[in-house]
Amino acid sequence: MPDSKHFAPPGPIGFGGAPLGNMFEEVPDDVAEATLAAAWDAGIRYFDTAPEYGPGISEHRFGHVLRNRPRDEFVLSTKVGRLLRADASKGGQHGPFVKGLPFRVDYDYTADGVRRSIEDSLQRLGMARIDIAYIHDCAEDAHGDRWLEVFDTAMTGAAVALTKLREEGVIRGWGLGVNRVEPCVMALERADPDVFLLAGRYSLLNQPALDTLFPRCQERGVHVVVGGPYNSGLIAGGKNFEYQEAPPDKVAARDRLAEIAKRHGVDLRAAALQFCAAHPVVASVIPGTKNPARVHENVALMKQPIPADFWRELKQAGVLPEQAPTPA
């Protein structure tokens, strides 16, 4: 990758904060604290969270643990585009997040909304600095037919404000945090982002970013953080794909991958993590987890030896594109 003026988080592995926002099920506070402590002890130094996660509870939990660590020794990212409003009627429920904090989540991609969002996040985190701010979900999956209008507001509001905050030294970098490739490509045309957090769009099961976004990022020296390397758990043996029950064709594709992995004695989770990290634009891969043991497991999986024959068979079988970089 060319030398870049853009800020990037450390890798190859970081920590994704959605599960600690009580995604799908409640995580006790002590388990959340132990999980984040395990990540630190395992050498992870990049942590990503968001106001939406829980809503608010993930940021509280990250701040509770990380504010006791040396601030210059880790990189912290959160997101903008949603503001939390006190609303006891919500009962801590928001999307897939259960038993969170009593807030309503309102979209706001304006410049004023971004500054308010960052101030609120600093309060929840109990910290004086956020390193990276991602504009969250300004894409079709979140906004449907209105997404281009929403994206335009994000570019004229949030992107401008974040660029100024970067120039002022309030943040070190900004980008988009999305589940779609298209807004990232468009953001490169309209603004000067540093890094994208792209979930589920570069994995063993799904690579739409490979030929569309990644070459443009290489040209601009922009980095990518890969979220959802297990595609919401399906690759790791779960039942969900993109936050919902996996369709039969995706289950069949996972099973085919698993069959080839078994033949080569490869843990499919290790292959998933290492495949994502192998592309030169990828700065970090951030699997999320809800327990300390899985943190250490993920770190070990990222280092597990994988035979070249495994990658070769995936390409020969048409499971992976021939042009996709694989670990050396």
Q: For 86, list phi and psi in degrees, rounded to 5.
A: -55, 125
Task: Give whole-number Cα distances, 123 to 13, 51, 56, 257, 270, in Å.
Answer: 27, 11, 11, 44, 37
Whether 79 is catalytic is yes
Q: Which of 29, 41, 46, 48 is catalytic?
A: 48
Whether 145 is catalytic is no
Q: How far, in whole angstroms, is CA 269 from its chain's centroid?
A: 17
DSSP sequence for 3-25: --SS-----SB-EE-SGGGTBSS
Whole-number Å distance between alpha carbons of 137 and 132: 15
DSSP sequence for 277-317: HHSTTEEEEE-B-SSHHHHHHHHHHHH----HHHHHHHHHT
Q: How many CA atoms lie within 13 A of 258 on its CB side?
A: 12
Q: Which of 79, 134, 137, 250 is catalytic?
A: 79
Q: Which of 53, 134, 202, 243 is catalytic?
A: 53
Q: Which long-range contacts (CB under 8 A, 24 or more apart) does 121-125 make?
A: 121/51, 121/59, 121/78, 124/51, 124/56, 124/59, 124/60, 124/63, 125/59, 125/60, 125/62, 125/63, 125/66, 125/67, 125/76, 125/78
Question: How many CB atoms lie under 10 A from the CB of residue 72?
Answer: 7
- Catalytic residue set: 48, 53, 79
